[in-house]
């Protein structure tokens, strides 16, 4: 094994919390769990002083450092020096980001220590327990009862630690150091166009399983078929062949299988008379998987997605993706989405717009988004934060991106709504970049061959012919879709330039416009030539849509963006004030004029034969 590959694998192993097969996170959502959400005590620690707590005897000046905040120590005598106290410190809601909860932390990007006390009573002897975090931005160091469980890097994907044998019936204390500092070698890197919300931003739960348990499963219609299910059930802790039963009670279907020496049962069976999932009919079936003392159940849908030439085929029929891009932010309060109701609020607005498709940009969103999309009938594009100028030649950066991608796919591989995995956004073409992204594409095809792969690429114009827009990217050779961002009328010229544009997209593949748009302050009015007015944004949409329809392979779009969102890059006083104003809906929830232009366009597309 060469040095570079060995280093990459070692780095990947250090990034994830529990990458081995003995993991419960993939099936945690289908289980009864103990929620550790609520108010957590916190200590803000910009110097990372919490790694060392000086506990000095007043008569011994030579005493050595003996611990840190993770020990949650209390003075044993009045003379003990312990310079922190979780019990008397402030508190924050978990899940939640600290930036939107506490005014003094609005711009804060560094370390906060969290502590949660809890009791635990196991259901039965011989059970196993796992601590699961839905997401923590960006680095998380986790300690239980003073023992370090491990570290996770990456702000948007779930991770877990096995804590069997480490829990007490009374008085457990869980301490988590979360650091949101941006890093040049990070994924994403230091420069982004969204708010860097730090903290334990998603659910924290304690999952209990039998000694041998269902750790993962995947059941989907086999690509190229409309009635044949293919997949597997994975057991953890199995020491020999184990019986597995998979049932879909509504379809009166039950299948029995046996695991191999690695605890995996491969499955393939016909799915007769099933209603396939689609935006028009988002049918979900209860799935029950049983093995020994363990059982998991949840709702899943079955559908196929593929391309044929320049067509996208959903369940074998051509579909136009009437989409919108979306950040994981509630604009009404300016913080991370943390609840199912908030996910349904945003996706409900997309439905009102006439969408059948949503791009979840630019990082993995809360898992509630995909589950709500399953219920509402919205197709999804999900992506990892390989954004702009990543360190393409750094093996640790690739390992980080690969780990986040793996955790995202493992989390959402059974969501019928997810049809596209995206590798990146607006990454300038270079040999190193293309190699990096092609490796991610290969990894994705191994992890999930059933879905489409894309990335948000870029257009360019020759100096001698600025009216010609060209999309030519070596990455498009290995993706299923040719997706690209374009801002003619906003960053390039004005809306009046749109009718003059000609397109060159030399691929016989579906084309998806992953971004277009312009800023408008909701309630600011003027003529169509005055930037930042609703009229300018509406005119931009009015002239962009027919321009894009001239692309023969056009099969969908996700304009930028559904709602205004916070961004420290956007500093124009009295207009932006720290908000990206490209939303079709303002930060107060009011719809701008362009909302109705796109809504009318989508209504026409939906009624077209």
Over range 198-227, report the average pLDDT. Answer: 93
What is the CA angle 433-439-444, rounded to 5? Answer: 125
Hey, what CATH class is 3-209 in?
mainly beta
Residue extents of the structural domains in the chain: 3-209, 224-303, 312-607
**Residue 6 pLDDT > 50, yes or no?**
no
The DSSP H or E segment spanning 560 is none
Query: Over the stretch 342-357, which tens digit does the pLDDT of each residue have?
Result: 999 999 999 999 999 9
Looking only at the bridges linking them, the beta strands covering 159-162 and 228-236 are: unpaired
Over range 291-320, report the average pLDDT. Answer: 96
Give me the chain's average pLDDT, please: 92
Q: For residue 225, name the pLDDT band (cuts at 50, 70, 90).
A: confident
Four-way CATH pick for 224-303: 3.30.420.40, 1.10.10.10, 3.10.580.10, 2.60.40.10: 2.60.40.10
Distance CA 583, CA 361 (A): 13
Distance CA 365, CA 335 (A): 13
**Residue 7 pLDDT > 90, yes or no?**
no
Distant-in-sequence, close-in-space partners of 544: CB < 8 Å, separation ≥ 6: 488, 489, 495, 498, 516
Please give the CATH architecture assigned to the domain spanning 312-607: Alpha-Beta Barrel (3.20)
Please give the residue that has the higher pLDDT: either 51 or 210.
210
Closest CA to 118 of 53, 74, 163: 163
Query: In a 3-state reduction of DSSP, which class is residue 238?
Result: coil
In degrees rounded to 5, what are phi and psi of residue 296? -130, 150
Over range 159-183, report the average pLDDT. Answer: 97
**Residue 17 pLDDT > 90, yes or no?**
no
Residue pair 163/129 in contact by the 8 Å Cβ criterion? yes
Closest CA to 384 of 368, 367, 369, 406: 406
In degrees rounded to 5, what are phi and psi of residue 397? -65, -45
Q: Angle at which helices 340-353 and 367-376 pack, to 10 degrees?
A: 50
Over range 488-493, report the average pLDDT. Answer: 96
**So what's the pLDDT on residue 29?**
62
Q: For residue 400, name the pLDDT band (cuts at 50, 70, 90).
A: very high
**So what's the pLDDT on residue 23?**
57
Q: For residue 81, name the pLDDT band (cuts at 50, 70, 90).
A: confident
**So what's the pLDDT on residue 64?**
47
**So what's the pLDDT on residue 56?**
41
Distance CA 383, CA 405 (A): 8
Distance CA 401, CA 386 (A): 7
Looking only at the bridges linking them, the beta strands covering 111-118 and 243-248 are: unpaired
**Residue 2 pLDDT > 70, yes or no?**
no
**So what's the pLDDT on residue 10?**
35
Residue 110: both structure tokens together: 């560094």
DSSP string for 332-362: TTTEE--SHHHHHHHHHHHHHHT-SEEEE-S
Distance CA 424, CA 440 (A): 10
**Residue 330 pLDDT > 80, yes or no?**
yes
In degrees rounded to 5, what are phi and psi of residue 156? -135, 5
The DSSP H or E segment spanning 513 is strand 511-515
Q: For residue 26, name the pLDDT band (cuts at 50, 70, 90).
A: low
Looking only at the bridges linking them, the beta strands covering 554-557 and 482-485 are: unpaired
Count of other CB atoms within 10 angstroms of residue 290: 18
Global pTM?
0.92
Query: In a 3-state reduction of DSSP, which class is residue 449?
Result: coil
Residue pair 475/438 in contact by the 8 Å Cβ criterion? yes
The proportion of the chain whose per-residue pLDDT surpasses 70, expressed as a percent, equals 92
Count of other CB atoms within 10 angstroms of residue 527: 9
Q: Give the Å distances, CA to CA, from 130 to 18, 117, 207, 367, 372.
A: 10, 16, 5, 19, 25
Residue 212: both structure tokens together: 């041998």
What is the CA angle 131-25-119, rounded to 5? Answer: 25
SS3 content of the chain, % helix, strand, coil (to 5): 20, 30, 45
Residue 109: both structure tokens together: 């990007």
Distant-in-sequence, close-in-space partners of 577: CB < 8 Å, separation ≥ 6: 570, 571
Closest CA to 468 of 451, 449, 492: 492
Distant-in-sequence, close-in-space partners of 128: CB < 8 Å, separation ≥ 6: 24, 162, 164, 208, 209, 210, 211, 213, 237
- Is 455 exposed, middle or buried (CB count within 10 Å of its CB: 0-12, 13-18, 19+)? buried
**So what's the pLDDT on residue 355?**
98
Residue pair 34/205 in contact by the 8 Å Cβ criterion? yes
**Residue 65 pLDDT > 70, yes or no?**
no
Over range 140-165, report the average pLDDT. Answer: 96
Distance CA 534, CA 528 (A): 8
Q: Give the Å distances, CA to CA, from 207 to 28, 157, 210, 304.
A: 7, 17, 10, 32
DSSP 556: E
What is the CA angle 503-495-348, rounded to 5? Answer: 90
**Residue 15 pLDDT > 60, yes or no?**
no
Torsion of CA 410, 413, 417, 419, to 10 degrees: 100
Strands (E) in 393-487, as ranges, are: 418-425, 452-458, 468-470, 482-485
76-80, 425-429, 548-552: lowest mean pLDDT where?
76-80
The strand pairing partners of 543, in sequence order, are none
**So what's the pLDDT on residue 275?**
95
Residue with tokens 């301490």: 175
**So what's the pLDDT on residue 337?**
94
**So what's the pLDDT on residue 223?**
81
**So what's the pLDDT on residue 222?**
86
Over range 448-455, report the average pLDDT. Answer: 96
Residue pair 497/539 in contact by the 8 Å Cβ criterion? no
Closest CA to 210 of 295, 149, 131: 295
Query: Over the stretch 455-486, which tens digit does the pLDDT of each residue have?
Result: 999 999 998 888 999 999 999 999 999 999 99
Query: In a 3-state reduction of DSSP, which class is residue 27?
Result: helix
**Residue 563 pLDDT > 90, yes or no?**
yes
DSSP 3: H
**So what's the pLDDT on residue 239?**
86
Number of helices (H), then strands (E), in the chain: 8, 34
Count of other CB atoms within 10 angstroms of residue 59: 7
The DSSP H or E segment spanning 443 is helix 431-447
Query: Over the stretch 101-145, which tens digit does the pLDDT of each residue have?
Result: 999 999 999 999 999 999 999 989 999 999 999 999 999 999 999
**So what's the pLDDT on residue 240?**
86
């Amino acid at each position: 094994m060469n040095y570079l590959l060995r280093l990459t694998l070692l780095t990947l192993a250090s990034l994830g919390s529990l990458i081995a097969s003995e993991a419960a996170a993939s099936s945690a959502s289908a289980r009864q769990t103990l929620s550790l959400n609520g108010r957590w005590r916190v200590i803000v620690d910009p110097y990372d002083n919490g790694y060392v707590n000086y506990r000095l005897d007043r008569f011994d000046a030579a005493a050595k450092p003996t611990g840190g905040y993770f020990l949650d120590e209390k003075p044993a005598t009045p003379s003990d020096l312990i310079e922190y106290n979780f019990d008397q410190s402030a508190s924050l809601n978990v899940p939640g980001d600290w930036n939107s909860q506490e005014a003094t932390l609005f711009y804060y990007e560094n370390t906060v220590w969290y502590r949660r006390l809890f009791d635990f009573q196991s259901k039965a002897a011989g059970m196993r327990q796992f601590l699961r975090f839905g997401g923590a931005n960006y680095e998380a160091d986790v300690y239980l009862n003073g023992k370090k469980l491990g570290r996770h890097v990456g702000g948007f994907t779930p991770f877990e630690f096995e804590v069997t044998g480490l829990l007490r019936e009374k008085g457990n204390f869980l301490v988590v150091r979360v650091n949101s500092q941006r890093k040049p070698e990070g994924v994403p890197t230091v420069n982004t166009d969204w708010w860097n919300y730090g903290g334990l931003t998603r659910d924290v739960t304690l999952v209990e399983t039998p000694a041998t348990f269902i750790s993962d499963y995947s059941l989907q219609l086999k690509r190229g078929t409309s009635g044949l299910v293919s997949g597997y059930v994975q057991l953890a802790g199995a020491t020999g062949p184990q019986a597995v039963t998979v049932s879909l009670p509504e379809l009166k279907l039950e299948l029995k299988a046996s695991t191999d020496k690695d605890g995996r049962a491969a499955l393939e069976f016909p799915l007769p008379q099933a209603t396939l999932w689609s935006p028009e009919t988002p049918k979900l079936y209860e799935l029950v998987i049983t093995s020994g003392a363990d059982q998991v159940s949840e709702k899943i849908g079955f559908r196929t997605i593929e391309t044929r030439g320049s067509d996208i085929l959903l369940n074998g029929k051509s579909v136009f993706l009437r989409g919108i891009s979306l950040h994981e932010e509630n604009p009404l309060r300016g913080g991370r989405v943390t609840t199912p109701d908030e996910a349904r609020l945003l996706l409900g607005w997309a439905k009102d717009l006439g969408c059948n498709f949503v791009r979840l940009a630019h990082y993995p969103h809360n898992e509630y988004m995909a589950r709500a999309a399953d219920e509402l009938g919205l197709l999804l594009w999900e992506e990892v934060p390989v954004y702009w100028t990543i360190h393409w030649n750094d093996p640790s950066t690739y390992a980080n991106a690969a780990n986040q991608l793996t955790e995202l796919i493992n989390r959402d591989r059974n969501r019928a709504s997810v049809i596209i995995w995206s590798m990146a956004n607006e990454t300038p073409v270079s040999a190193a970049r293309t190699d990096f992204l092609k490796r991610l594409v290969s990894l994705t095809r191994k992890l999930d061959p059933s879905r489409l792969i894309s990335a948000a690429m870029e257009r360019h114009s020759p100096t001698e012919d600025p009216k010609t827009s060209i999309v030519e990217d070596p990455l498009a050779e290995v993706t299923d879709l040719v997706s690209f961002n374009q801002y003619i009328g906003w960053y390039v010229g004005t809306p009046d330039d749109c009718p003059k544009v000609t397109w060159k997209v030399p691929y016989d593949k579906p084309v998806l416009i992953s971004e277009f748009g312009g800023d408008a302050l909701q309630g600011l009015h003027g003529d169509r030539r005055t930037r930042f007015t609703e009229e300018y944004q509406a005119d931009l949409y009015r002239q962009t849509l027919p321009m894009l329809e001239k692309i023969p392979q056009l099969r969908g779009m996700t304009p930028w963006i559904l709602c205004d969102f916070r961004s420290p890059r956007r500093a124009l006083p009295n207009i932006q004030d720290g908000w990206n104003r490209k939303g079709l809906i303002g930060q107060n929830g009011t719809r701008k004029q362009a909302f109705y232009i796109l809504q009318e366009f989508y209504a026409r597309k939906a009624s077209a034969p």
